[in-house]
Amino acid sequence: MKLKYCIEEIDKNKYENIHSLLKNELHISNRLLTKLIEQNCICLNNSICDTRNSFEVHDMLTIDFEYFEDNTNVVSTKMDLDIIYEDEWLLIINKPAGIAIHPSILHYADSLSNGVKFYFDSIGLQKKIRPVNRLDFNTSGLVIFAKCAYIQEALSKQMNENLFKKEYLCIVEGVLDKKTGSIDLPIARKPGSIIERCIDSTGQPSRTIYKVIKEFQSNSQNDMKSLSLVKCRLETGRTHQIRVHFSHIGHPLLGDTLYGNSSPLITRQALHSYMISFVHPITKKEQCFTCPFPDDMKDLLT
């Protein structure tokens, strides 16, 4: 897990020393730089270097991220992980509904992070467990785990700059008047609740781009209703954003008991994170990953 960077003429003109290049060209945070320096993980032409030193064109800078990290704060639990993609730097998993991403008091040993800890142990990777993106407990779909702090920082930066793209599929109640459009409504924490969100003018700007893919009737004789399969792209990443937005416009997600109604058709909110795209922090190539539609949502369409 080593990042190699060959010094170019433009770097010689822009940066006065190694530290400046690491911080401003490779976008390594001060906190991580301090850790790398303490661990003697930065080399120039294969020799440990002082980052206050200058460099020459064609010098080779190597940053070693393989240093040991204590990850014993997360319990190791064996799980059947649906791994969509893996390389030396990151791991992408298709998370099923009904599992938390982070350990907590209620999910001390059965979160997705616990399963990733077991997997890291099995491949001898002594790194902290770093989920990059979040999904609600009952939302299924793609979750990225960074294998080192640098990848987590780089992808978080892309999220902040709206370069990390996320698309979801959801099933909402009713038929939307506009088949394509955007929902631009600010979202805030609901007063008196630590979980629920609401539309409020004092909230954070939030934008959801949507497109209706299919309109259909539910296949249950006991609960016949009009439903719509909708594709959503998030331009912001607020907590419960899709759920809050569609509930507010009168089309709550099917099965969403927090912002809508329970349903005999599905035991959770019908929401699936099916696509993510980003620029790989190491290869600099754009990556796009998708994952299959979960059975409980697919069955509603047949």
pLDDT band, very low/low/confident/very high, at 69 (cuts 50, 70, 90): very high
Given a contact cutoff of 8 angstroms between Cβ atoms, the answer to whether 252 and 240 are in contact is no
Q: Does pLDDT of 15 surpass 80? A: yes
| 3-state secondary structure (DSSP) of residue 300 | helix
Q: Which of 82, 95, 79 minimizes the C-alpha distance to 142?
A: 95
Mean pLDDT of the chain: 93
Tell me: pLDDT of 122 over 70. yes
Look at residue 1 in the predicted model and tell me its pLDDT.
86
Give residue 218's pLDDT. 82
Q: What phi-psi label fits residue 283: left (phi over 0), alpha (psi between -120 and 50 degrees) or beta? A: alpha
Q: Which of 6, 16, 13, 9 has its CA nearest to residue 53?
A: 16
Whether residue 78 contacts residue 127, with contact meaning beta carbons closer than 8 Å, is answered with no
Nearest to 293 by CA among 278, 277, 273, 276: 273
Residue 266 has pLDDT above 90, yes or no: yes
Q: What is the pLDDT of residues 190-245, one digit of tens each?
A: 999 989 999 999 999 999 999 999 999 887 666 678 999 999 999 888 999 999 99
Beta carbons within 10 angstroms of residue 247's beta carbon: 21
pLDDT for the residue 221: 62
205 by Cβ neighbours in 10 Å (0-12 / 13-18 / 19+) ranks as exposed
pLDDT digits (tens, 9 = 90+) for 4-14: 999 888 888 88
CA dist 234 and 74 (Å) reads: 30
Predicted local confidence at residue 288, as pLDDT: 97
Per-residue pLDDT band for 162 (boundaries 50, 70, 90) equals: confident
Which H or E run includes 97? none
Mean pLDDT of the region 81-95: 97
The predicted pLDDT at position 12 comes to 85
User: Distances from the Cα of 173 to the Cαs of 99, 216, 225, 250, in angstroms?
Assistant: 24, 10, 8, 8
Q: What is the number of H-type helices and E-type strands within the chain?
A: 7, 16
- Mind giving me the DSSP string for 184-198? E--EEEPTT-SS-EE
DSSP structural state of residue 178: S
Helices (H), the chain: 9-14, 18-24, 30-38, 112-122, 149-160, 241-248, 295-298
155 or 1, which is more confident: 155
Two tokens, residue 76: 């190791």
Strand 286-290 relative to strand 187-189, pairing: unpaired
78-82, 124-128, 220-224, 268-272 — which is least confidently predicted? 220-224
Instruction: Collapse the DSSP code of 290 into the 3-class scheme (helix H, G, I; strand E, B; otherwise coil) and give the result.
Output: strand
Q: Which residues contact 84 (CB under 8 A, 6 or more apart)?
A: 92, 93, 94, 142, 289, 291
Q: Which residue is it, tokens 């990556």?
A: 287
Of 210, 217, 218, 216, which is closest to residue 179 (Cα–Cα)? 210
Question: pTM for this one?
Answer: 0.92
Q: Which residues are known catalytic residues?
A: 136
Rounded distance, CA 5 to CA 43, Å?
A: 11
Identify the pLDDT of residue 224: 74
User: How large is the average pLDDT for residues 129-158?
Assistant: 96
